[in-house]
Every structure is written in C-alpha cells, then in structure tokens.
Amino acid sequence: MVTLDWIVIGGYFAILAGLAWWVIRQSKNTADDYFLAGRHLGWWIVGASIFSSNIGSEHLVGLAGSGATDGVIFAHYELHAWCLLVLGWVLVPFYMRSMVTTMPEFLEKRFSAASRWMLSVISLVAYVLTKIAVGIFAGGIVFRTLLPDVGFMLGETHIDSFWIGSILVILLTGIYTVLGGFRAVAYTEAVQTFVLIFGSILVTFYGLQALGGWQQLREFCGSEMFNLWQPMMPKGVEATWAPVKEATRAAWYFDNGVYPWVGMLFCAPIIGLWYWCTDQYIVQRVLGAANETEARRGTIFAAFLKLLPVFIFIIPGMICFALAKQGATPGLEALVNSNGEVVRDQAQAAFPLMVKTVLPDGVRGIVVAGLLSALMSSLAGVFNACSTLFTIDLYSKMRPNASQSQLVWTGRVATAVMVLLGLAWVPVISNSSGLYGYLQSVQAYLGPPIFVVFFGGVFFKRLNAAGCLAALIVGFGCGLWRLAVDTPVSLGWQGYENGYAEGSINYILNNMYFQYFSLAIFLISAVVMFAVSYMTSAPNEQNIGGLTFGVVSEEQIQKTRSSWGSIDVLATLTVLVAIVVAYVYFSG
C-alpha cells in the first residue's frame, strides 16, 4: 500500500460519507422510513442492494479461497441466480400485497403469531452467530494480509491488524446504519456494488495479464478445476465389493473432501430458495420497493449481477493458485507446497494476496475500496435486518402502543447492540480455526424448515398454523441438535480437537456430509407440516386471502399481470440462458 492507494481509499470514504449524510438528512422519523426506506426504492437500488448485501466475507475470503483449492465447484451456488427469479415472479406478488415489514410478519398473517415469534428469535440468533461473525472474520483477514505490520501494544497485549481491521469495519458500518436506517444502507450499498464489481474485474484482468492469459490458467489449473461436476464424484474407487462399501461411505461422509452430486442437486436449491426468497436479510430490499414492477425488476437485475462472482471471485482464486504454481510472482510462495499443491490453510487469503501482489499502485486502492465495500455492505445489511426483526416482530408486539419515534429509537438501539455483539465476537473469531466451513453448514441446518413453511404456505392453502408451528419446532430442533454436536469440534474447544469416539452417534452426526443432514431436516419438516395440517382443521380462507395460491382474487391476479411486460420476460430469459451457458462451459 502506497500513498496513492491511501488517497484513493480516502476519496472513496469521503464519497460514501457524503452520500450517507445526504440520505440521513432525507430520512423521516417513521418506522416505515427507517426500516423500509418509505417503500420508495427503484429497481436498480433494489437489485444493487440485494447483490451488495449478498457479496460479503464468504466471497472475499471463502469463495476466492475455494477457487484456489477446488476450482469452480462452488460456482453452483453462484449460478443459483435463478432463485432470485423465483422471488420476483412467484413470491413478490404475495409479499407486496401483504404490506409486511418482515418475513416473520408475513408468516403471522399466513399462519399464526407463534410462528412469527419463533422465526424472529431463530433468525436473530443465526444472524449474530453467522453473518456478523463471518463478516468480522473476513475483515480481519483482509487487513492482516494487506497490512501485516500494522499494530500496537495495549499493556502486555499486542493488537495486530486483524483486530484493528475488524473493529474499524464494525464501527464505521455501525455509525451510518444506526443513524440512517435502511435508506442509508440501501443507497450506500448501491454505490458499493459498482465499486466492488469494478475493483474485482481489475483483479481478474491484472491477474490474467501476470499469468499470461486464459489458456495459461487452464493449463496450470487443469481440466478438473474447470469442471463443475467431476469433484462431486468419489475418486479412486474400483468396482469390487470392499471398495463399494468405502464408496458408500464416501458418498455419505464429508471428511474425505468429496462433494456428492446428490447434495448439490437436491439440497443446494433448497438452501438457495430459502436464502434468496424468504430470508429477511435479502427480502427486506424487495419490501422497500415502490411497487410490484420495481420489486420484480430489482430481482431480475440482481440475478444478472449474481452471475458475476464466478468470474470476479472464483477465477481470481484460481489465478492466485496458478501464479503460485508458476513461481514467478513474489509473495505467493506460501500458497503451494513443494509438490505444487495448494496449502489449504493459506487459501483463504487468496483474494487479498492477489490485491497485494499483482495490482499496480493506485489500482490497488480502488480494489481495497471494493473489498471494504463488500465487508461493510454485508455487515450493514445484517445490522439493519436484526434491528428490524427485533423492533417490528418483538418490541412492537410487546409495546403495541409505541409511537413511530419510539420504534425508530428502538431500532437504533438494537443496531447499536448488534455492533457491540460484533465487537465481542472479535477475540473468539481471531483464535478460531475452521470457522468458515462451520458457518457454511449452519444455514443448511436452519434453512430447510423455513423453506418448507414459506413455500408450503404459498402453494398449499390447506396447510395451517398448527402444521407450520410443528414443522418449525421439529426442523429447528434437528438443526440445533446437529449444531450442538458440530460447534465444539469446529471451534477446536478443549477436549474436542480430535472429534468424538468413532462409531458413536455424535461421531456419525459430526462426520455426515452436511447437505445430506440438511435434506433429512427438509424431509422431516415437510412430512410434519403436512401430517399435522391434515390432522387438524383447515384454515379460514377469509383470513388468508391473497396470501396463498387458491385464495387469490381475480382483481389481484389482474393487478399482478399488469405489473410486467415483454422486457421483463426477455431479461428473465437472458439470465436463464446465461446460467445454462455457464454450466455447459464449466463442464471440464
């Protein structure tokens, strides 16, 4: 980092601060404005905000790192851009006509207050333990890689760049999120989106230039790293009885590094639809849109943007591995061993290493601004989502007569509490190992029951409140059971460094491939919801009008039909074609 880089970064923060201040001055002291930007967001703000919220630490640290270790295998998750189309075309009409502020509130209108309370509590806990934690972790990794020598002594404790970076990211993000609410989050995320995309494209461009071009990348990485499908199959298994038994184990256990195709084919879409279509963290942007048209076009725009991470995060990770293997770029030696194989513990720093080693002065400052954009937008999104859930779903239910100004004040306090909880996580995360893999699996354990109740509620009018609550209780219970088993091992707590005794129930649970366990939770939740619903009385159709297929009026159908035209259909088809082309190209 040279003076020119710092000038560029300073200019970026000046623009961001000016925009945040302008937005804060436009804000009104009402709950609708603080939590949903007054429901006046245009499609490009909605789409950019969705993308910016999604692109956080799991991409900067995890996705680029996975590119260095496993190639394009995790592009499956990025090519789930079609899930955003499901949000726009299928669920947006129901969400917009319900006029809700939170996803748990929609669940209450469709089912019951008890289901709203349960989803709110589970979401808050999950956000604190996952999204906030991983955001802090990534911020620390970026600063530690780019500024390894920054630090100071506090008494007898050395505060290194990991601590400094994590705390700065939390505090700076917290300030404008507390003051400006969702309006500040949405507008700053829109700017951050374009800074992030432009900066990441520069990393890919200069990386390929340093390596010698795309063909060189394919030669160094090999066809397997460019194959979306091959890494999912068990390797080295011969067709004899004994290896068949081992192959079965390979398909069910995750500890051999295999990515079974069954999990990717069936579980990944479930988690994708839960995340993109029902999670407050994402859908809040859609709820802030001016109308169905703006909301739908925002999701289509976000789907276009969602195709980019394959090329601006995964490919740079692969380039970093190829450069390290080539051996001509100083600073990347630690990424590969003497056999030319990637060192997995070093791979999480692949993207910041690219920024540090291949970018010219000045350009590096632009990309670092993009890195900070991703980290801050991701944290801002979760801070605001948490404050919205707490204020609207919990506080307002306990204090139904609270004024608009009291709700806004409570939202600001809740955001500040999230910031403090994030700061409290820093010492835990800085000493943890294997955190990223653990956090990736958390959503696979908590998402399936939410997917079941939302999609079941929208598609099947016969499903009722009793079935919804039973599915949430049983599904979350299964997920929390697995988390209770995984957590001590994943965080390396004393006595759990080597896992559990082989053959025990905890050993089987801890080693079972997380997507298969997630599929089991999905199936159990679905069976419970349908069974309990059909064993109890049907819901009153007057209470769920417009909230589920089968109870939608002709007027509502016509209003939705008039909200889209040929340009929306053409844009949607373009996204789908692009996804198919990507799957075909990355097939070895």
pLDDT at 232: 55
* Cα separation, 560 vs 94, whole angstroms: 10
Q: Which residues pair with 336 in a beta bridge?
A: 342
Q: What is the pLDDT of residues 480-513, one digit of tens each?
A: 998 888 878 766 777 777 788 888 888 888 888 8
Q: What is the pLDDT of residues 134-177, one digit of tens each?
A: 777 777 777 777 777 676 666 666 677 767 777 777 788 888 88
Q: Which residues contact 381 (CB under 8 A, 6 or more apart)?
A: 49, 52, 53, 185, 189, 281
**Identity at 304, one-letter amino acid code:** F
Buried b (16+ CB within 10 A) or exposed e, 422-443: bbebbeebeebeebbebbbbbb
Q: With 90 as the cut, is the pLDDT of residue 200 above it?
A: no
Residue 400: burial class (beta carbons within 10 Å; 0-12, 13-18, 19+):
exposed
Closest CA to 202 of 49, 372, 351: 351
Task: Give the containing element (helix H, strand E) for 154.
Answer: strand 151-154
Radius of gyration for the chain, computed over Cα atoms and rounded to the nearest angstrom: 24
Residue 480: burial class (beta carbons within 10 Å; 0-12, 13-18, 19+):
middle
Confidence of residue 440 (pLDDT cuts 50, 70, 90): low
What's the CA dihedral at 263, 265, 266, 268 to 10 degrees? Answer: 70
Confidence of residue 108 (pLDDT cuts 50, 70, 90): very high
Q: With 70 as the cut, is the pLDDT of residue 327 above it?
A: yes
**Identity at 181, one-letter amino acid code:** G
Question: When comparing pLDDT for 6 and 460, which is higher?
Answer: 460
Classified as helix, coil or strand, 307 is coil
DSSP-derived secondary structure letter, 239: S
pLDDT at 48: 92
Q: Which residues contact 338 (CB under 8 A, 6 or more apart)?
A: none
Count of CB atoms situated within 10 Å of the CB of 131: 27
Q: With 60 as the cut, is the pLDDT of residue 255 above it?
A: no
Question: Degrees (nearest 5) of the Cα angle 476, 480, 484?
Answer: 175
Q: With 60 as the cut, is the pLDDT of residue 254 above it?
A: no
Identify the CATH number of the domain defined by range 3-12+38-235+280-431: 1.20.1730.10
Q: With 60 as the cut, is the pLDDT of residue 436 above it?
A: no
Question: When comparing pLDDT for 444 and 430, which is higher?
Answer: 444
pTM, two decimals, is 0.87
Domain boundaries, the chain: 3-12+38-235+280-431
**Identity at 233, one-letter amino acid code:** M
Q: What is the mean pLDDT of residues 27-53?
A: 86
Q: What is the pLDDT of residues 268-299, one digit of tens each?
A: 899 999 999 999 989 999 999 999 999 999 99
What is the token pair recorded at 350? 């692949």
Q: How much of the chain is in helix, strand and coil states, percent to nearest 5?
A: 75, 5, 20
Q: What is the mean pLDDT of residues 402-406?
A: 89
